[in-house]
Structure 1
């Protein structure tokens, strides 16, 4: 994105119409290619997000910028990237609200599944995090010179430990696992993994941005705890009482006033987490958790804006993440070797950790292998972590690119692994997989 940042920064103030033209041009390119490659990814049994991330990589300096530098500069570098950044972050905040609504914590209350889910979640976090930290310490002198080793290695560990619940949920549905015991354990383990991953990311971000000040970090975490306590103990009951009193209109969708109030709560919550010093998108996630028990509201919100978020906002974020990566920067054998090491360590760490946890939780060997494959799905959450680390200056550009490659590869391994393992469990995979 360095080339984009060097664009005409004065255009925004001098000519709003000119900025609008180039923003629309970028959106046409992003949405068209993201939908096309997302469709292609689905045809070969991959999550749509894989195609959308690849679309961003192809539109960026990795391919488009090399094939036609002049046209690439015209489309993506004539104006400041700020409008694209803002849209991607607004969309990501709304998406995290939607993800928070989708968490089904009731699975964790099932006695038969709770132990397996907890053990799988613990294993799928602990081993990859440790491997990521060790790899971060080992790679820092070669890949991240000048960046403090502690926050760098902690961000690498967090990136290794994360699992993408939205992508995993879609895979479970399309592979016919959503209503099975194994699917319930997988989504519960992923939900617990994500909650722990968010808390880990919050702690790492607070630790890094506080510049190693224990007092500053303690205050930040204290304010975060107060915010969560007020949100869950005060805001959640109030919101549920208000929703319970609503007379829902016939037909799908939310009433305009309810939608407006929802957006206000999401944005205010995001502003509060920003003021605490964490990041805005976490505020959206917390508001989603607050309302997720009201199934009528959740269903109507999905009907009103759910598809728009996935079709418009999500490709912008995926493409923006891809635009920041430059595969051409991996220009020697040593960097490709580091890329292979990162992909291998992330894959083995997550898979082996989830497998070991699942076995300790009582699952048989083949079911544990399935859990290892499912928990390796990173996608969106991985990109959130590395974008935060990159924007904060704790992940250098080349490592950012390597981690984008890792996110794509590890997510792409899930489908083939399931096709091999599920039939051995006697599970029939539905035709026309659309993950």
Structure 2
């Protein structure tokens, strides 16, 4: 590598000497620059200390000898970063070590400065959170300090972008202060709709939607305030909201039913029986399920399907058997209904699509209830339907995706892999209606 004077470093905005830069990018120096980059980033981008390269090959020894202007003959070499910095400044490149690595790319990261900045950001976050808490009636409530301490230990907030973390913890404190206004407030707590509360404290009706970070932080505060464990599922989270006089959305999600005849005597059970007698389907909300008396005769057999078309066809055919539809996904409202019916002693039979998502959904639903058995969902059923659709000349949909083992029949997945055909519930509709009649 050619040396020249003067030793002053080239201004950073001037492009480096192309020939000198080409020399530095030769393969024999790759390990050197990797090690130097790591050391500089740990050192605050200062050329200090040494690095040692082991097991050098001939190409590396030659490149290092030219770069350092001294022979490197052994299997290892120790390089002082201050010496390498000075050597580069005297070279045709006329840049120090840090500027050289920046020119070689990618950009250097001052990890020490980044750690210091992250520490300062965390300090600012928690100082802001403590100030926000102190400015509300929560400062008089002992659980509030514990809430903030648990958030700090958990680390969830510090993994968010700084602006997001600051906004979220401030809004969480404001929301909790709205729900728990302190000892001097009206002893009768206000009742809030969750969307109304979210609009009040975040400006968005969806700010406290289930699954958001803000809703989790607020729910942890409610759990501490009420002295209960943090819930692990959606029904538990809704119950916790209600403990703070917040009404979650229980009307937008529904479960499609048909033929349910509960024995209760209120107008709701009577209406369900009348709709069943008139072969009409019914969409039930979570709000209705909270008040329905879902008592059915012991061991009532309830069929469960995946696709709404099965319910529609059952109603059109005047079938009498009760039927519940998951609509392709066992949502909370579906499972809430099935849980209530299972508790009353009902038994279930499940049918779904013969594809991998259908098998996964069937595993989830059948695995939840001991009293649920497969309904025309065996390997033999699949093979029969595949052969029938082929004879009928129906278009064959190719099965794709990762295989899913059927927990109720170990032969089903191999049969599906072998024939590689998707069969939706509609392909077996006549057989299902025969059972429902």
Q: Does TM-score exceed 0.5, indicating one fold? A: no
**TM-score, with structure 2 as normaliser:** 0.19
Bigger fraction of residues in strand: 2
Determine which structure has more spread, i.e. the larger CA radius of gyration: 2
Q: Which has the higher contact order (CA 8 A, sep 6+)?
A: 1
**TM-score, with structure 1 as normaliser:** 0.20
